Copies of this chain bind each other. A is one copy, B any other.
Amino acid sequence: MQMPPARVGMTLEDIETPALIIDLDAMERNLRFMAQAVKGTLVKLRPHAKMHKSPDLARLQMAQGAVGVCCQKVSEAEAMVRGGVPDILVSNQVVGDAKLIRLAALSKQAKVAICADDPIQVERYSAAASSFGATLPVLVEVDVGAHRCGVAPGQPVAELAQCIERAPGLRFAGLQAYQGSAQHKRQPAERREAIQSAIAQIRESLQALEKSGLACAWITGAGTGTYRHEIASGVYTELQVGSYLFMDADYARNLGEDGRPVHEFEHSLFVLATVISRPVPDRAVVDAGLKAYTAESGLPLVHDLPGAECVRVSDEHGVLKLGPDVPLRLGDRVMLIPGHCDPTVNLHDWYVGVRKGRVESIWPIAARGAVS
């Protein structure tokens, strides 16, 4: 772990770069906006901690009504529990007995649920839970259109749920029904249709469960691109949104019904960088490259500096193309909006929370690198 790039009380100008900056005012508006969206509905908020990797931020989400968090990995769940999060859904399959022992042990300290899409997983979950005298709630992951993990909807869901119910140390708890491939479809009609299709597949699965005499009170899914459809669905009971908190450049390319980008959430996450070279008039090179943000969802956007565009990145450099009137000098700072917030956060050891130009919080990214 590297040393923090700032100290509380510093101004933006004194932060060592590159640094991962949170605009606290903007993030808090995003927090409240999503809390408001579920208020008065039957749908609960369980934000995904794979995005922010920070129990400090998870606790802020819970203070605004979140029931707990989702995690993708056991090590991520461990970091959340150590940071005071009492209720976790591992929204993923876990394979490997050493990991399952860790998960069962963790369930003695906090509420921990897990997903399955195969009877072989169920057998191993049961063995691990039983060895700790624990009872693990298990959700069946349904493939509602993303075609990654998950059993087919309908009868296969009921069969796996029965398998879970029969297994010592386990209890069938609900459905994991995340339609990941819908989140970044640019047109609102495409997103709506994808979630309508997911809802139909969940209904089909619920009918099969009912025939098998199994109740299902927990249905979780949704992302920042589609959450309004899941709230309105009548079937989803929880949202596992993540990116709403920070909003990255890629999500900001989603269009709304008016044909313009959806503007519910503000960019609140930035990579602060310094201009280290001005070799020719139309080029500035900054000290932040592929080790400060990731590029698989597009290059970062330059915040609040019209005429400057990031056009090329390498491991430690970002190349900005400058229009004729951009007064960017050696040593100047720029704020970059990352293309994809989840893997960008995972590069950094620290969040630097800034309000009105002054550092207010330094939060460790406790689950950074928690891949196991």
Footprint of B on A, CB under 8 Å? Answer: 1-3, 5, 14, 16-19, 50, 72-73, 75, 92-96, 98-99, 117-118, 120-121, 143, 147-151, 180, 274-279, 283, 285, 287-288, 290-292, 294-296, 312, 314-317, 319, 330-331, 340, 342-343, 346-349, 368-372
- Knowing A94-B276, A151-B279, A276-B95 are in contact, say whether A315-B343 is a contact too (CB < 8 A): yes
Q: B279 and A290: CB pair below 8 A?
A: no
Q: List residues of chain B with CB within 8 A of the CB of A118.
A: 277-278, 330
- The chain B residue with its CB closest to the CB of A318 is B148
* Contact assessment for A343 and B50 in the assembled complex, using a CB-CB cutoff below 8 Å: no
Top 6 nearest A-B pairs (CB, nearest first) are: A149-B277, A95-B276, A72-B316, A93-B276, A295-B296, A290-B343
Contacts of A151 in B (CB 8 A): 279
What's the Cα separation between A316 and B51 when bound, in Å? Answer: 11
Whether A294 contacts B294 by the Cβ 8 Å rule is yes
Report yes or no: B277 in contact with A371, Cβ–Cβ below 8 A. Answer: no
Contact, CB under 8 Å: B317 / A149: yes
Once the chains are docked, how many angstroms separate the CA of A288 from the CA of B19?
A: 26
Residues of B within 8 A of A278 (CB): 118
Please tell me if the beta carbons of A148 and B319 are within 8 angstroms of each other in the complex: yes
In this complex, the member of A285, A287, A294 whose beta carbon has the largest number of chain B beta carbons within 10 angstroms is: A287
- A21–B319 Cα distance when bound, in Å, is 32
Complex alpha-carbon distance, A17 and B372, angstroms: 6
- Interchain CA distance A308-B60 in the complex, whole Å: 43
Tell me whether B95 and A274 are in contact (CB under 8 A).
yes
Can you pick out 24 interface pairs between chain A and chain B where the beta carbons lie within 8 Å of each other? A5-B372, A16-B99, A17-B96, A19-B372, A73-B316, A93-B276, A95-B275, A95-B276, A95-B287, A96-B331, A148-B277, A148-B279, A148-B312, A148-B314, A149-B277, A149-B285, A150-B277, A288-B371, A290-B294, A290-B296, A290-B340, A291-B346, A294-B294, A315-B343
Q: Are A294 and B296 in contact (CB under 8 A)?
A: yes
Establish whether residues A342 and B371, one from each chain, have CB atoms under 8 Å apart when the complex forms: no
Chain B positions within 8 Å of A16 at CB level: 96, 98-99, 372
Contacts beyond the supplied A120-B330, A180-B314, A292-B371: 6 A-B pairs with Cβ under 8 Å: A1-B1, A14-B98, A95-B276, A148-B279, A150-B277, A347-B369
Report yes or no: A95 in contact with B331, Cβ–Cβ below 8 A.
yes
Compute how far the CA of A314 lies from the CA of B346 in the bound complex, rounded to whole angstroms. 14
- The answer to whether A371 and B149 touch (CB under 8 A), given A95-B331, A291-B343, A294-B294, is no
A163 to chain B, nearest CB (A): 14
Kindly name the residue among A72, A147, A148, A372 whose own CB sees the greatest number of chain B CB atoms within 10 A.
A372
Residues of B within 8 A of A50 (CB): 315-316
CA distance A372 to B313 in the complex (A): 17
Residues of B within 8 Å of A3, CB to CB, are 75
**CB <8 Å contact, A149 and B72:** no
- Beta-carbon contact of A2 and B372 below 8 Å: yes
